[in-house]
Amino acid sequence: MLIDSHCHLDYYSETERPLVLARAREAGVGEMVTIGTRLSRAAEQIAMAEAEPDVWCTVGTHPHHAAEEDMPREQDVAALAAHPKVIAIGEAGLDYFYDRSPRDIQAEMFARQIRAAALAGVPICIHTRDADDDIFAILKQQRDAGEKFDFLLHCFSSGRALAEQAVAIGGYVSFSGILTFPKSVELRAIAADLPADRLLVETDSPYLAPVPFRGKRNEPAHVAHTARVLAELRGMTAEALGDLTTANFRRLFRKAACVSYLRRKDVLF
């Protein structure tokens, strides 16, 4: 089984979404995580996850929208994460490529969501682009302040230094369709070298479709193509890579592991 650890199901129309979900299931994608990008729309993410037994969600504000949203109180964000289908905070972080929000506001929004994740006892899913040094500085600052939190660098396309720094302090790294792009030579070298117990796969759909779908609209079913490339890089079978990334997902997203166990026992949550 494969898990798409990061997709945006709310970016598909209501008529399109059931077809996307059906194709994912047919492709062997056992679970999906639909990712929040605005805290003001958290209820929409939760409703989508509630409607589907194999869909989880996160709640959070993307750095692009940091200046458009009210600066949240940590306890309010943590309260949203109390829902059984909310397994993480995010996506949160820094984006200095587009700079759609002032950098100081991005940083404050990111720090508050880290503290909310620590308060709620769930991981934080991190978006980073052209901001490697500041991402790690904020992570370290929050850790040094005594905050205890797990984190995932999603759709990783940064440098080796950030990947190794993140893993060194307990972080996980997720790879998207970018891993399959012909020019992603350095990224594939990083993916080959990272510890096996810190690897996840995702689509970030509807963006970043992997080869052979590059240039087309992405969807969760296509996570299998990224997983195949990662398996080849690691010298593993596709089945073994699926088992590995699923186990890593369960370890990071502990609420998903717990509820999945209950589901197997036919116990309602």
DSSP codes of every residue in 173-215: EEE-GGGGSTT-HHHHHHHHHS-GGGEEE---BTS-PPTTSTT
The model's pLDDT over 81-96, given as tens digits with 9 standing for 90+, comes to 999 999 999 999 999 9
Residue 256 in 3-state DSSP?
Answer: helix
Alpha carbons 218 and 8: distance in angstroms, whole number? 10
Residues of 40-77 as b/e, b for ≥16 C-beta within 10 angstroms?
eebebbbebbeebeebbbbbbbbbbbbeebeebebeeb
| Per-residue pLDDT at 258 | 75
Give the pLDDT band of residue 203 (cuts 50, 70, 90).
very high
* Alpha carbon of residue 221 to chain centroid: 16
| pLDDT band, residue 58 (cuts 50/70/90) | very high
Alpha carbon distance 269, 26 (integer Å): 26
Burial code (b: 16+ CB inside 10 Å, e: under 16) for 235-257 equals: ebeeeebbebbbebbbebbebbe
Residue 269: which pLDDT band, with cuts at 50, 70 and 90?
A: very low
* Mean of all residue pLDDT scores within the chain: 95
For 2-264, give the CATH class.
Answer: alpha beta
pLDDT level of residue 257 (50, 70, 90 thresholds)? confident
Structure tokens belonging to residue 119: 């308060």
pLDDT of residue 267: 37
**Dihedrals phi, psi of 218, to nearest 5 degrees:** -85, 160
**Residue 259 pLDDT grade (very low, low, confident, very high; cuts 50, 70, 90):** low
Q: How far apart are CA 221 and CA 21, in angstroms?
A: 8
What residue segments make up the domains of the chain, in order of their start? 2-264
pLDDT of 265 reads 40
List Cβ neighbours of 43 (8 Å cut-off, separation of 6 or more).
Answer: none
Phi, psi of 179 (to 5 degrees): -60, -25
* Residue 260 pLDDT > 70: no
Q: Can you tell me the distance from the alpha carbon of 269 to that of 262, in angstroms, rounded to the nearest whole number?
A: 7
In total, the chain counts a number of residues equal to 269
Contact 118, 151 (CB under 8 A): no
Residue type, 146: G
Contact 107, 101 (CB under 8 A): no
Residue range 204-229, pLDDT digits in tens: 999 999 999 999 999 999 999 999 99
Q: Is the pLDDT of residue 105 over 70?
A: yes
Q: Which H or E run includes 24?
A: helix 17-26
Tally: H helices and E strands in the chain: 10, 8
* Residue 261 pLDDT > 80: no
Asked if residue 264 has pLDDT above 70, the reply is: no
Q: pLDDT for 122-132, tens place per residue?
A: 999 999 999 99
Whole-number pLDDT of residue 140: 96
pLDDT for res 266 = 42
In Å, what is the CA distance from 210 to each residue of 22, 36, 60, 71, 213? 19, 22, 26, 35, 6
Higher pLDDT residue, 124 or 259? Answer: 124
Q: Name the pLDDT band for 166 (thresholds 50, 70, 90).
A: very high
Mean pLDDT of 54-58: 98
Confidence check: pLDDT of 162 > 70: yes
